[in-house]
Structure 1
Amino acid sequence: MRVFLVHVRDPQFYALPAKTRAKNGNIRVMGFPPIGIMSLSAVLKEAGHECVMFDQANPDTPNAVILEQIHHQQPSLVGLSFLSTTSYPYAKILARQIRAANSKVKLAFGGVFASLNAPLVKLQCPEVDFICRGDGEQLILDLLANLEEPEGVCGLTWMSDGRVVQNPGRPIERHLDQWPFPDRESLKLDFVESMPLDVPAVLSMDRFTTMQTSRGCPWPCVFCDIPIFNEGKWRARSAQHVVDELKYLESLGYGSVYFVDDHFLLQPKRIEAICQGVTNQGLHIQWGIEGRVDSVAQHLFPAMAKAHCRTVMFGIESGSQAILDRLKKEQTLQEVETAVTNAKNAGIEIVHGFFTVGNPDETVEDMKATFDFAAKLPLDTFGFNRLCVYRGTPLWQEYIKRGLVSEASDWYKYFKCSEIDPTCLPGETINHVRQEGLKRLFIYKLTRYPLQTFRLLRRFLRFMPVRDVVYLIMKPFLGQKKGATKAEILSRAVEHADMKDAAAQLTHLTDEMLHNVLEASRVERQRIQLEAESSRELPMVPAR
Structure 2
Amino acid sequence: MKIVLCSVPGEPVHFDLTNKVRGLGNLPVLPKFGITALAQWMWKNGYKRDELDFYDMDMLLPSDDEIRAYFQSSKPDIVGLSAVTSGTYGRVKKYARIIRSACPDTMMVLGGNLAASANIVLKKTDVDICVAGDGEIAWVKLLDYTKKHGRTIDPGVLGDIKGLAFLNAAGEFSFTGFGEKLPASDMSLVPDYDLLKKGLQDQPELLKNYFRPARESHWFNHDPRAHESGRKPNIAMLMVNKGCVARCTFCQRPTKGFRAGNVPELEEHVLYLKNNHDVGFISVSDENFGSDKKQAFEFAAIMKKHDMLWAATGVRCDTVTPESIKFYADNNCVALKFGIESGSQDILDLMEKKFKREQVINAVKWCRDRKIFSPLAILFGMPGETEETAKETGKLMAEIALATHSHPAEGKDLMYAIPFPGTPLYEYGQQVGVIGSTVDDEEDYLENVFTAPSYKLSYVNLNGAPVSELLFWDLLAQLEAMRYYLKETGRRNNGAQTSAYAAHEVESIIFKPTPVFGNESIRDIIIRKIKTRKWKTSFYPFASLFIQRKIIPSPLAARVPRILLYPIIKLLLLLEYYVILLYKRREAFSYYRFISPKQKVKRIGEDYRRSILSKKPVPSKKVISLRSIVMENRKPPASLSEANRIELLTGL
Other-structure match for 1:274? 299
Q: Which of 260, 266, 278 in structure 2 is aligned with 1:253?
A: 278
Alpha-carbon deviation of 1:8?
1.7
> For 1:181-233, what per-residue CA distance to the aligned partner results, in whole angstroms no more than 9, with x for missing partners?
312341434146699xxxx978679544322222222323221232xx534x2
Secondary structure of the residue aligned to 1:58 is helix
| CA separation of 1:283 and 1:487: change in aligned 2, threshold 3 A | farther
Other-structure match for 1:495? none
Once the two structures are overlaid, the 10-residue window that deviates more, 443-452 or 397-406, is 443-452
Percentage of matched positions with identical amino acids: 20
Other-structure match for 2:468? 428
Other-structure match for 1:362? 385
Contact kept? 2:329, 2:370, Cα under 8 Å: yes
Alpha-carbon deviation of 1:137?
2.4
> For 1:34-78, what per-residue CA distance to the aligned partner results, in whole angstroms no more than 9, with x for missing partners?
332243344446642344334444365234322221112222322
Q: Which of 175, 180, 190 in structure 2 is aligned with 1:181?
A: 190
Other-structure match for 1:35? 33
Contact kept? 2:81, 2:109, Cα under 8 Å: yes
Q: Which of 311, 335, 339 in structure 2 is aligned with 1:287?
A: 311
Secondary structure of the residue aligned to 1:390 is coil
Secondary structure of the residue aligned to 1:9 is coil
Point out where structure 2 has 5 or more consecutive residues left out of the alignment: 150-156, 201-205, 227-232, 402-407, 450-455, 487-497, 515-519, 528-540, 551-572, 597-652
> For 1:155-196, what per-residue CA distance to the aligned partner results, in whole angstroms no more than 9, with x for missing partners?
23334534455446543234165437312341434146699x
Distance of 2:594 and 2:281 partners within structure 1: 30
What pairs with 1:320-335 in structure 2 (closer than 5 Å)?
Answer: 320-335=344-359
Distance of 2:108 and 2:363 partners within structure 1: 45
Check if 1:86 corresponds to 2:87.
Answer: yes
Distance of 2:304 and 2:132 partners within structure 1: 38
Other-structure match for 2:290? 265
Distance of 2:252 and 2:41 partners within structure 1: 26
| CA separation of 1:363 and 1:475: change in aligned 2, threshold 3 A | closer
Alpha-carbon deviation of 1:436?
5.1
Equivalent AA in structure 2 for residue 429 of structure 1: E
Distance of 1:405 and 1:81 partners within structure 2: 25
Contact kept? 2:235, 2:282, Cα under 8 Å: yes
Contact kept? 2:137, 2:182, Cα under 8 Å: no
Once the two structures are overlaid, the 10-residue window that deviates more, 332-341 or 297-306, is 297-306
Alpha-carbon deviation of 1:7?
2.0
Contact kept? 2:75, 2:103, Cα under 8 Å: no
Other-structure match for 2:141? 142
Distance of 2:332 and 2:506 partners within structure 1: 19
Secondary structure of the residue aligned to 1:287 is strand
Distance of 2:143 and 2:127 partners within structure 1: 15
Distance of 1:202 and 1:331 partners within structure 2: 25
Check if 1:48 corresponds to 2:45.
Answer: no
> For 1:510-536, what per-residue CA distance to the aligned partner results, in whole angstroms no more than 9, with x for missing partners?
xxxxxxxxxxxxxxxxxxxxxxxxxxx
Once the two structures are overlaid, the 10-residue window that deviates more, 6-15 or 59-68, is 6-15
What pairs with 1:158-307 in structure 2 (closer than 5 Å)?
Answer: 158-163=166-171, 164-167=173-176, 169-175=178-184, 177-179=186-188, 181-184=190-193, 185-186=196-197, 187=200, 188-189=206-207, 190-191=209-210, 206-226=233-253, 229-231=254-256, 233-251=257-275, 252-280=277-305, 282-296=306-320, 299-307=323-331
Contact kept? 2:134, 2:180, Cα under 8 Å: no
Equivalent AA in structure 2 for residue 61 of structure 1: P
Task: Kindly report the root-mean-square deviation, in angstroms, between the aligned alpha carbons of the 2 structures.
Answer: 4.4
Once the two structures are overlaid, the 10-residue window that deviates more, 179-188 or 76-85, is 179-188
Alpha-carbon deviation of 1:111?
0.5
What pairs with 1:367-382 in structure 2 (closer than 5 Å)?
Answer: 367-378=390-401, 380-382=410-412
Alpha-carbon deviation of 1:130?
1.8
Contact kept? 2:168, 2:174, Cα under 8 Å: yes
Contact kept? 2:250, 2:418, Cα under 8 Å: yes
TM-score scaled to structure 2, two decimals? 0.62
Once the two structures are overlaid, the 10-residue window that deviates more, 397-406 or 136-145, is 397-406
TM-score scaled to structure 1, two decimals? 0.73
Secondary structure of the residue aligned to 1:141 is helix
Contact kept? 2:248, 2:353, Cα under 8 Å: yes
Distance of 1:256 and 1:475 partners within structure 2: 37
Distance of 1:388 and 1:67 partners within structure 2: 33
Secondary structure of the residue aligned to 2:312 is strand
* Aligned positions, number: 473
Distance of 2:586 and 2:63 partners within structure 1: 18
| CA separation of 1:259 and 1:370: change in aligned 2, threshold 3 A | same
Distance of 2:166 and 2:56 partners within structure 1: 25
Contact kept? 2:236, 2:279, Cα under 8 Å: yes
> For 1:89-137, what per-residue CA distance to the aligned partner results, in whole angstroms no more than 9, with x for missing partners?
22112112221232122211000230x3434532333x21221222222
> Which protein shows a greater Rg?
2
Structure in which a larger fraction of residues adopt strand: 1
Distance of 1:110 and 1:487 partners within structure 2: 36
| CA separation of 1:375 and 1:6: change in aligned 2, threshold 3 A | farther
Contact kept? 1:177, 1:238, Cα under 8 Å: no
Distance of 1:160 and 1:101 partners within structure 2: 24
